[in-house]
Amino acid sequence: MPIPPARVLRMKIFKLLFKSLNSAI
């Protein structure tokens, strides 16, 4: 079952946000 691109984009954005938050701390 392929994952919809919208969900993939959301996951990528969340990962980027998480990385920025970790680096900010």
Mapping DSSP onto H, E and C, the string for 1-25 reads CCCCHHHHHHHHHHHHHHHHHHHHC
> If you average pLDDT over residues 5-16, what whole number do you get?
93
Distance CA 2, CA 21 (A): 29
Distance CA 25, CA 21 (A): 6
pLDDT confidence band for 11 (50 / 70 / 90): very high
pLDDT confidence band for 12 (50 / 70 / 90): very high
Domain count, the chain: 1
* pTM score over 0.75: no
| Position 19 pLDDT exceeds 80 | yes
As given in the structure block, the two tokens for residue 19 are 């990385």
Distance CA 16, CA 4 (A): 19
Range of the domain at 20: 1-25
